[in-house]
Structure formats: structure tokens, C-alpha cells
Amino acid sequence: MWATMPRPARTVFFARLLAIGGSAALTLTMANAQQPAKLAVAHRGASAYAPEHTLASYRLALDQGADYVEQDLAVTKDGVLICLHDESLERTTNVEEVFPDRAVVDPATGLKQWLAADFTVADQTTGRRKLV
């Protein structure tokens, strides 16, 4: 099955495995599959060209020849998994403008942060993604 599966289908297959916690299955499948010596893995998609962890970034990474797109996952306040590299939202979104009063102060640095775990999915889709 693996050898006949086109590259985009393999990427989606592995993304679904990762999204449901199938990292053990992912390791076994990769170990048993015949793979080229080197693979291109797009971490967060083509994040140098499109906002990271967006559909545009994932599609561009595949168009550029990535074998896989690796997602980072975070959990929202309402328990939904989202693709987010950081634990906070300010680097990749305009959360400071949309929710200026919902920041918490990081005790280690004294800087304001808008933690993904403090916002629901509905809150997070209110703002915009930044090109980072």
C-alpha cells in the first residue's frame, strides 16, 4: 500500500496519525516502508513563505516537494487540538489587538503572554495569522 500511495496522500496519512496520537504507528510504518535515503519534512509547513500552521503553508510545502508536513499541537481552553508551535499566541497572531486585556504575565520574564490554553477555538479564529 505504502509504495503505491502518492506523496500528498502519504503526508495526509501521517498528519492524521499524528493528530490522533499515532506516533508509535508512525514509527513502525516508517521503519517497515521502503523510503529514499533523505526525506524533506516541512516543520509547520512552508513557514518562510506563508503563515505557519495554515492550509496555505501546508499546501505550499507539498508543492515545493515536502514528503511530510509536521504539525505541532496545542490544546485550547475548550479542549480542542490546534496546530500551534508556541504555547502562546502573540508571535503568530494579532491577539494583542483583539484581546488586549486577556494577557497573563510570565513570572520568569515579566512579559505579557496570551496562552493558547486560555482561549477557546472561537476566540482564536477571531484574529488573524501573522507571517512569521
Report the catalytic residues: 43, 85
- Of the candidates 115, 117, 34, the one whose C-alpha atom is nearest the C-alpha of residue 76 is 117
DSSP letters, the chain, are -TTTS-HHHHHHHHHHHHHTT-HHHHHHHHHHS---S---EEETSSTTTS-TTSHHHHHHHHHTT-SEEE--EEE-TTS-EEE-SSSBSTTTB-HHHH-TT--EE-TTT--EE-BGGGS-HHHHTTS-B---
Grid coordinates standing for 57? 503553508
